[in-house]
Amino acid sequence: MSANGSADLVFVNGAVYTVDAARRWAQAVAVRDGRIAAVGTDADVEELVGSKTEVIDLGGKMLLPGFQDAHVHPPASGVDMLLCDLHDAVGLDDYRGLIREYAETHPDAEWILGGGWAMDVFPGGTPTKDLLDDIVPDRPVYLPNRDGHSGWVNSKALKIAGITRDTPHPRDGRIELDELGEPSGTLHEGAQSLVSDHAPEPTNEEWEQGLLTAQTYLHSLGITAWQDAIVGGSYPTLDAYIAVAGRDELTARVIGALWWDRHRGLEQIPELLESRARGIVGRFSATSVKIMIDGVCENFTAAVLDPYLDAHGHPTDNQGISFVDPEVLKQAVTRLDAEGFQVHYHSLAERAVREALDAVEAARQANGPSDHRHHLAHIQVVHPEDIPRFRELDAVANAQPLWAAHESQMDDLTIPFLGEPRWTWQYPFESLVRAGAVLAMGSDWSVSSPDPLQEIHVAVNRVMPEDYPHRVDSRDVFLPDERIDLTTAIAAFTMGSAYVNHLDEVTGSVEVGKYADLVVVDRNLFAYPQSEISRAKVVLTLVEGERVFAADDIG
Ligand SMILES: [Zn+2]
């Protein structure tokens, strides 16, 4: 503390939205020694201004608690940013241009790696090898799509992997075939590893670089904490986090969700305990375990109760994939709960959601209540009977709101195959809130934009932001009853995600004694029409009172 008790930094003349229990507003905030020292009117903080205090006049801008992303993949996304990155491209011509450019500017790369294409660019969501062979005939190409559930490969990559028309589909995936029965150039889910196992893995140094690149980008969007939804498995990033946190270069607070190897059983728990013991360094804590229960709807690998429909609306015999046997899942979650782990599920469609909740129920019956805050991410399709169970079982709804809108992936690749009434069970955010569930939110970047303002925009409007790089044919509101209000959406990205991260005692709201993890947005979101939320921009991000991002035009 400064000798005279004065603040290090004071914000005045702002629209301070505290997200405290009363959702109180204030005008001014004082920061001292990395913590919030006062919240109130300009007059309230005046006495804390000393000769060395920096004073920032917010001029009516909005100050909020730093955003927290409850499900995101920063190191891999950061590595992607440094490779052949297709995320911001729109359409096949752009993709081909970027791939050609990357290949030309990286003549020494043995493989062309990166990814981020959108399924809706290709008929049936499945790009073909010949499109790549044209551009890169001599080196293998492997490019996962933006949700990572399908990979686009060229002939050279198929050859290296030894994939032919006779290769059986792996148990946890599918090789897309053309009309002649030849591998066509798209690999789904576990089939991707037939190729990716041959590709060079990022080195530890590249993972660290990716993490730091991602951190800079996330701070520029106002994010001060996140839960990394996969640490281990195909993203062996535990050592990168430990190294970066150990050097005190991890400015964000991060909870790591250790990867549950779905090909193994409870015998892996001692290894998870060992990773957790090693994985608590600086602002990083590997205290969660990620269990991926199913795939995604667009390639029919999400676990559904009734079978998917075919293109003509007739039932198929496909109910998707449960990656983990439901009985094993119950035993695993019960043990993990007893060991003090939080469980972070990928549970996308209604059977996966039910299996996840059933496993939490089994753990509650065996172990009684716990404060581990198990959470279900994605929750795209939830059977109405399961909605009250989130509150009853104390399971957190971890939503990725940017997907809850009409766009081509939803309209062309999802709704017709879910059918009536099931497609109306999608992203039931308001129903969950009304049923008393705790709501956290995240982006699943690099699947979709990690910009919380874009995501809050869709959570509130259920319409895609104007400039989203995705084909949008319909601007109708997607299931309007499931819109949530701005207060609820902001709370989900601050206190809700802080709760999931066990950071709610020290962050998540602007209250005296908490860390000064703060964000300044260029306008008071409540003072503009809700249809304009996505136009707002973050101008300043602080962690413990230190600037981790500042736009050019802030004091
Ligand atoms: Zn994810």
Residue (of 77, 192, 448, 122) closest to 132 by Cα position: 122
What's the gap between Cα 169 and its chain centre? 29
Strand-pair partners of 290: 259, 344
Q: What is the mean pLDDT of the chain?
A: 95
Q: How many angstroms separate the alpha carbon of residue 291 from the centre of ligand 1?
A: 11
pTM for this structure?
A: 0.89
What is the average per-residue pLDDT within 422-431? Answer: 98
Residue (of 31, 28, 100, 87) closest to 60 by Cα position: 28
Residue 4: which pLDDT band, with cuts at 50, 70 and 90? Answer: low
The pLDDT tens digits for 314-373 are 999 999 989 999 999 999 999 999 999 999 999 999 999 999 999 999 999 999 999 999
Q: How many angstroms separate the alpha carbon of residue 553 from the centre of ligand 1?
A: 34
The tokens describing 65, both together, are 């608690």
| Range of weakest confidence among 85-94, 262-271, 484-493 | 85-94
The tokens describing 134, both together, are 């044209």
Q: Which residues contact 229 (CB under 8 A, 6 or more apart)?
A: 71, 72, 73, 257, 290, 344, 346, 377, 442, 444
Please give the C-alpha separations between residue 265 and each of 169, 225, 330, 435, in angstroms, as whole numbers: 23, 31, 11, 34
Q: What is the distance between the alpha carbons of residues 99 and 114, in angstroms, rounded to a whole number?
A: 9
**Backbone region of residue 425 per phi and psi (left: phi > 0; alpha: psi in -120 to 50; beta: other values):** alpha
pLDDT at 471 over 80: no
Strand-pair partners of 292: 346
Q: Which residues contact 72 (CB under 8 A, 6 or more apart)?
A: 218, 226, 227, 228, 229, 442, 443, 444, 445, 450
Is the dihedral angle over the CA atoms 93, 95, 99, 105 positive or is it negative?
positive
Identify residues whose C-beta is under 5 A from ligand 1, the ion: 229, 444
What is the average per-residue pLDDT within 465-474? Answer: 78
Residue 114: which pLDDT band, with cuts at 50, 70 and 90? Answer: very high
Residue (of 30, 29, 40) closest to 7 by Cα position: 30
Q: What is the distance between the alpha carbons of residues 302 and 322, in angstroms, rounded to a whole number?
A: 8
The pLDDT tens digits for 478-526 are 999 999 999 999 999 999 999 999 999 999 999 999 999 999 999 999 9
Q: How many angstroms separate the alpha carbon of residue 234 from the centre of ligand 1?
A: 12
Report percent pLDDT > 70 for the chain: 99
Q: How many angstroms separate the alpha carbon of residue 228 from the centre of ligand 1?
A: 9
What is the average per-residue pLDDT within 119-125? Answer: 91
The pLDDT tens digits for 19-43 are 999 999 999 999 999 999 999 999 9
For strand 518-521 and strand 439-441, is the pairing parallel, antiparallel, or unpaired?
unpaired
The pLDDT tens digits for 278-291 are 999 999 999 999 99
Q: How many angstroms separate the alpha carbon of residue 287 from the centre of ligand 1?
A: 17
Q: Is 107 helix (H, G, I), strand (E, B) or coil?
A: coil
Pairwise pLDDT comparison (229 vs 120), residue with the higher score: 229
Q: How many angstroms separate the alpha carbon of residue 442 from the centre of ligand 1?
A: 9
The pLDDT tens digits for 539-554 are 999 999 999 999 987 7
Residue 297: which pLDDT band, with cuts at 50, 70 and 90? Answer: confident
Q: What is the distance between the alpha carbons of residues 157 and 115, in angstroms, rounded to a whole number?
A: 15
Element (H, E) at 72: strand 67-72
Q: How many angstroms separate the alpha carbon of residue 144 from the centre of ligand 1?
A: 13
63 φ/ψ angles, rounded to the nearest 5 degrees: -110, 130
pLDDT at 2 over 70: no
Q: What is the DSSP letter of 452?
A: H
